[in-house]
């Protein structure tokens, strides 16, 4: 059954969208990742304009992170104070990101920048994950390494120190602010929540307790994706509510099966599969960048530079 | 192609009215009259493209060309070139007054019907479409190092524009889909893909005899989004801030609903 997407202005197979949403939802449930980094490229592969894919994804992520954070909230795993400081950064990052997005769109370079950023981030993250999971598999099972609560490094000497009682940290507010800023940029330009960047940054740079990281980053992502949705709606007109809702339905259901399936896989196996997937998407995007296009000319309606 | 049923239902009624028209107008010289099976193409949620039938009559035998033109808009053509191994949009040319849809239907090859000068005067056929230039034409050098003139560059981008529109099924080169039923009655089929732009269209019917256009008639056609999709599009364009807020509210609600529905019992 075909469905006409009012903002993307194209007809797409409804079933295919549901399957895509379900598939990405399954993976995000299984691996505990947002899935935005898979969904946006998939949308681009099926012919949704990259700009619409990003704008719509930010809307879909609002819903995904709300449903994700509620579970963490009930268990008290959200450091609101830390989240708010990060939020200040990500608000600025999102505003700047949408502004950059708008300029690149009128220059006709937004598709290129989206693809390049995906290739860079997916390649880096996928590569690191793949090596790490292979190493773990080869070494076999080993006892968990005891880490200190957090390590002190040069970053802790920065000014504007602030107390974060929940995370039991006394660090410069600039750090979570900067991490939020980077996360906001990723949301606005790539249409991803940025969890894959925020989570390691919060663990390794801030030294936050791992139990609080997922909830706090999700808490922050709700707001940055909401701001991105709002700004994309008024500035770039690329938010397709119909598309977002269809993807959401698929991904919510898929995620439930993913969570169940996660119990049957070992951590490093799961990570190896995820890494392979991430690298596959990265390679496909990279190939499209270097392969001779079918027609070197393309058209865009409206006046461009 | 979902509307074929509706179109063929309209056939007898239209035919009857045209037969009546022919009777009245037979006295007038060089006359063509035509009407469409529908004047509104509604893009609904399930829209996958449609087909409109045009019926007409001529007072004496001749050739008929039916030209459908969509709403015009400035359109930018971009050229990708390899820079450091990556294909990047480098040069671009913006054309003004580019119809978003264009199709030609004829009863026999258009070149047999009229000379190129006549066709060009009425912009019949893709090769006779004229777009205005907006802004500058970038300098271009061919692969063997020859500097292209401005006209050559423009022609290159113009051809690329038409090629891209054809690939998207928005420009349809002449098709022999006009068929005569006897000497005076004819019908033509116009196909619209799902990506058809919205707006005011004109359907021009030309009657051609001995290489000259002796009569023409233009009928309006509206392509419009209808129903839920139209409401969403309209809302998004007219009140972007409220659309943005609504999109967030819907997402928050949906997320909460999902969390409640699948909460571990």
Handedness of CA B108, B111, B115, B119 (dihedral sign): positive
CA distance B59 to B66: 17
Q: What is the CA radius of gyration of chain A?
A: 20
Least confident of A64-68, A249-253, B120-124, B144-148: B144-148
How sure is the predictor about B4, in pLDDT bands with cuts at 50, 70 and 90? very low
B192 has which bridge partners?
A: B50
pLDDT of residue B6: 45
How sure is the predictor about B13, in pLDDT bands with cuts at 50, 70 and 90? low
Instruction: State the nearest Cα–Cα gap between A302 and chain B, in angstroms.
Output: 5
CA distance A196 to A122: 10
Q: In the 8-state DSSP scheme, what is residue A156?
A: G
pLDDT of residue A11: 84
pTM comes to 0.77
CB-nearest partner of A241 from B86, B94, B247: B247
Which residues does A266 contact at the CB level (< 8 Å), separation at least 6? none
Instruction: State the nearest Cα–Cα gap between B121 and chain A, in angstroms.
Output: 26
> Does the beta-carbon distance from A4 to B163 stay under 8 Å?
no
Instruction: State the nearest Cα–Cα gap between B141 and chain A, in angstroms.
Output: 15
How sure is the predictor about B146, in pLDDT bands with cuts at 50, 70 and 90? confident
> Does the beta-carbon distance from A239 to B74 stay under 8 Å?
no
For A147-197, the pLDDT digits (tens) are 454 555 556 667 777 788 777 777 878 888 999 999 999 888 888 888 778
The residues in B 16-55 lying below 8 A from A, measured between CB atoms, are 43-49
DSSP B192-236: E-TTPPPEEEEEEEEEEETTEEEEEEEEEEEEEE-SHHHHHHHHH
pLDDT (mean) for B210-237 = 89
CB-nearest partner of B81 from A11, A64, A296: A296
Mean pLDDT for chain A overall = 83
């Amino acid at each position: 059954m075909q469905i006409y997407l009012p903002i993307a202005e194209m007809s797409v197979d409804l079933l295919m969208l549901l399957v895509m949403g379900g598939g990405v939802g399954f993976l995000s449930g299984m691996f505990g990742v947002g899935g935005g980094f898979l969904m946006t490229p998939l949308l681009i592969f099926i012919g949704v304009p990259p700009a619409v894919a990003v704008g719509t994804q930010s809307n879909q992520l609002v819903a995904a992170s709300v449903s994700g954070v509620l579970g963490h909230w009930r268990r008290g795993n959200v450091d609101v104070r830390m989240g708010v400081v990060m939020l200040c950064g990500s608000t600025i990052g999102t505003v700047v990101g949408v502004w950059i997005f708008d300029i690149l769109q009128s220059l006709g370079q937004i598709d290129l920048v989206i693809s390049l950023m995906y290739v860079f981030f997916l390649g880096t993250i996928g590569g690191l994950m793949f090596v790490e999971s292979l190493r773990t598999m080869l070494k076999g099972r080993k006892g968990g390494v005891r880490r200190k609560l957090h390590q002190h490094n040069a970053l802790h000497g920065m000014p504007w120190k602030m107390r974060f009682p929940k995370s039991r940290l006394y660090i410069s507010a600039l750090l979570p602010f900067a991490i939020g800023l980077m996360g906001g940029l990723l949301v606005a330009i790539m249409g991803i929540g940025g969890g894959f960047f925020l989570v390691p940054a919060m663990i390794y740079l801030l030294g936050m307790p791992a139990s609080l990281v997922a909830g706090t980053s999700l808490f922050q992502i709700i707001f940055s994706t909401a701001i991105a949705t709002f700004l994309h709606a008024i500035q770039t007109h690329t938010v397709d509510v119909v598309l977002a809702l269809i993807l959401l339905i698929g991904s919510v259901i898929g995620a439930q099966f993913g969570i169940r399936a996660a119990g049957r896989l070992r951590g490093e196996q799961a990570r190896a599969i995820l890494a392979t997937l991430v690298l596959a998407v990265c390679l496909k995007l990279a190939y499209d960048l270097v392969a001779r296009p079918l027609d070197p000319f393309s058209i865009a309606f409206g006046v461009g530079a | 192609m979902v509307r074929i049923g509706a179109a063929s239902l309209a056939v007898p009624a239209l035919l009857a009215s045209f037969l009546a028209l022919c009777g009245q107008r037979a006295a007038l010289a060089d006359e063509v009259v035509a009407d469409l099976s529908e004047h509104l193409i509604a893009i609904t949620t399930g829209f996958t493209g449609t087909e409109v039938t045009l019926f007409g009559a001529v007072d004496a035998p001749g050739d008929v060309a039916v030209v459908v033109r969509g709403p015009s808009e400035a359109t930018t053509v971009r050229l990708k070139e390899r820079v450091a191994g990556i294909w990047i949009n480098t040069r671009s040319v913006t054309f003004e007054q580019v119809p978003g849809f264009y199709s030609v239907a004829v009863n026999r090859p258009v070149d047999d019907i009229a000379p190129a000068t006549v066709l060009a005067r009425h912009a019949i056929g893709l090769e006779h479409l004229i777009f205005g230039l907006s802004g500058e034409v970038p300098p271009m050098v061919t692969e063997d190092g020859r500097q292209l003139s401005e006209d050559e560059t423009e022609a290159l981008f113009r051809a690329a524009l038409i090629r891209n529109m054809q690939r998207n099924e928005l420009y349809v080169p002449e098709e022999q889909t006009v068929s005569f039923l006897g000497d005076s009655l004819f019908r033509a089929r116009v196909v619209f893909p799902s990506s058809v732009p919205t707006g005011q269209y004109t359907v021009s019917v030309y009657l051609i005899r001995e290489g000259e256009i002796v009569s023409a008639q233009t009928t309006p056609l509206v392509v419009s989004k209808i129903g839920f999709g139209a409401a969403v599009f309209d809302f998004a364009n007219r009140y972007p801030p409220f659309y943005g807020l609504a999109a967030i509210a819907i997402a928050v609600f949906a997320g909460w609903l999902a969390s409640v529905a699948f909460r571990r019992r």
